[in-house]
Amino acid sequence: MIEFHALIAAAVATLKAGGVEPILVGGVALNLHGSPRVTRDVDFVVNRDTAWENVLAALYKSGFCLITRLNDDGSARRFVREESIARLKVRAENPDSLFFWQPEERFRLDVLVDFPMPASEIRRRAAATEIAGVTVFVAAREDLKIMKARAIADRNKSGDREDYLFLGGTEEEIAEIRRKARL
């Protein structure tokens, strides 16, 4: 198996080859900001106006498949092995998020499409860093906090709470986010 940082660098290079400038968010971005959080996937935000045919071609060429169904634990349950079918599915659904699986490395890649906020906004505040020789833009703490607030409102996972607190949020803010989400 390839080392995790090399997988991240390869995913960034693949997305760039597909014509997008991915911005790293999620658990790996939190790690780069100093969080000890453990994660199983890598999350990126991209612009909605992405040419998906190019991105899908690059991802499929690198061994990724579009995930169409996840298990409760977040692992891939069902995926599309044919790039042409994936292209039709993405074009028809225009989703806010796409999940990809690379079976050989057992590697999950999540691509958020201007979700929960525009990639262009996140990119303006993102910082460039290098992972395994590849330049990667990493979302700023303030944007990760906004994204975690959205996650807290949408679901009830203890990891989201811990991440929000790590990013400088308070228990009172979390309670207010959850209260508003119930309205």
pLDDT at 183 (0 to 100): 61
Q: pLDDT above 70 covers what percent of the chain?
A: 99
Q: pLDDT tier at 1 (50, 70, 90 boundaries)?
A: low
Q: Which CATH architecture has domain 4-138?
A: 2-Layer Sandwich (3.30)
Q: pLDDT tier at 109 (50, 70, 90 boundaries)?
A: very high
For the chain, domain boundaries: 4-138, 140-183
Average pLDDT over every residue of 64-83: 90
Q: Is 164 left (phi over 0), alpha (psi -120 to 50) or beta?
A: alpha
DSSP assignment of 75-119, as one string?
-EEEEE--HHHHHHHHHHH--SEEEEEETTTTEEEEEEES-SS-H
Average pLDDT over every residue of 90-115: 93
Average pLDDT over every residue of 88-108: 93
Q: By the 8 A CB rule, do 160 and 30 touch?
A: no
Average pLDDT over every residue of 74-82: 90
Q: pLDDT tier at 156 (50, 70, 90 boundaries)?
A: confident
pLDDT at 152 (0 to 100): 94
